[in-house]
Amino acid sequence: MAVIEHETITQQYGTARLWRLLTYVLAPVVIVGFLIGAYFMVREDPTDKNPPALSYGLAAVLLGFAGLFAYGLLDVIRWRLIITPTRIISAGAFRTRELALNNIRGFRTDENYTRVLPRWEGQPAIKIGYTTEDYAGLQQWLAQHYPDLDVEQEQESEAAILADTRLGADAMERADRLAAARRTATVLNWLSGGVAAWLLFRPQPYAWAVGAALAVPLVAVAALWRHPGVLRVDENKNSAYPSIAWALLLPSLALLWRSATDVQLVAYSPLWPRVGTVAATMVVLLIAGNRYFLRQRTARLNTIVAAVICGLFYSYGATVAANAAFDQATGTLYHPRVQGKHVSSGKTTTHYLTVEPWGSFHQPDDVVVSSRYYRRTPPGATVTIRLSPGWLGIPWYQVVE
């Protein structure tokens, strides 16, 4: 791989050939699609009952997207990254940024960009996308000539941990505590992924899968208290502090999914007090377990926000899923007829059967069923619905397939 010798050679880079080709092919199609959509929004149509203001507003939005894609296409055509013996230049369709090589402080890298940062405020940063020609070679050149600020930040973070007298009597004891916390975080985060996959894709036995998803976040909370001042509830890039964010979020999201697809509640009023209690308890435990970071001005807000998000996600999914999974009651069976059926499509597809009034439902009601059951159940057929009191006293029901 060629490495740039910036002291003697001027090099130019554009967008990589594959990305240019994809942009040249797809962008015009998308632009034309938006323009056609805008035309149909504003053309006269006697059957269109939308207010004119709405139609023109949607047309304006579509034109805006067309303009955005046109700008992107032009930028791909014209953009160049130029490295001279003295400067690095990013020349776009309408704007050019340049930075003297001796004024570069270092660089940072994320999933999409490498950012070359200046020494002084007010000077421009140069952003290099991963779609740039010889992106790996550019990163190699930067690493040979300038500091990786991500690595430096992580090293500074670890040095701060090893210097924190609250975490141990000497640096060796603190290093041992940090290593133990990292092992704990690694085990919990990987375990959470396995448990979430179990609950999402093959939740058998169902109660065991739900129980495991309920338990992992609670074990993660206990780990916060077991490793105070070292484990964090939030994920912070370039931080040496290990995080259990995934151990909290992945099982909670799996519980949310199962509660949305497997459980239908008769009423939500009995649910909210229980969800509120679980959420408040979880948030307090998470914040208290991360109390050391509340003293750091830069970490305080992230800690509180992460604790609230994790507590809210867990509380709803855990309450609804546990209420159904651990319900041992026989329940009451109802046999309403199907009056209709429909599908709701969005980010996910949900299949509904509209059934005649049953139980406490005095109007036709939509019940969620699997796609297979939806296909084989015609209007006029009879379905079986089991109404259960709920382990936590929250009545729920499901179609017996």
Q: Taking a C-beta distance cutoff of 8 angstroms, is the pair 97, 80 a contact?
A: no
Count of helix runs (H) and strand runs (E) in the chain: 10, 14
Q: Which is higher by pLDDT, 157 or 18?
A: 18
Q: Kindly report, residue by residue over 201-226, the tens digit of the pLDDT.
A: 999 999 999 999 999 999 999 999 99
44-48, 238-242, 319-323, 384-388 — which is least confidently predicted? 44-48
The predicted structure's pLDDT at residue 22: 93
Percent of the chain whose pLDDT exceeds 90: 62
Mean predicted lDDT score pLDDT of the chain:
89
CB-neighbour burial class of residue 364 (10 A; exposed 0-12, middle 13-18, buried 19+): middle
Amino acid at 390: G
pTM above 0.75, yes or no: no
The predicted structure's pLDDT at residue 46: 59
| Average pLDDT value for residue range 394-399 | 92
Q: Taking a C-beta distance cutoff of 8 angstroms, is the pair 108, 115 a contact?
A: yes
The predicted structure's pLDDT at residue 265: 92
Q: Kindly report, residue by residue over 296-317, the tens digit of the pLDDT.
A: 777 788 889 999 999 999 999 9
Give the SS3 label for residue 3: coil
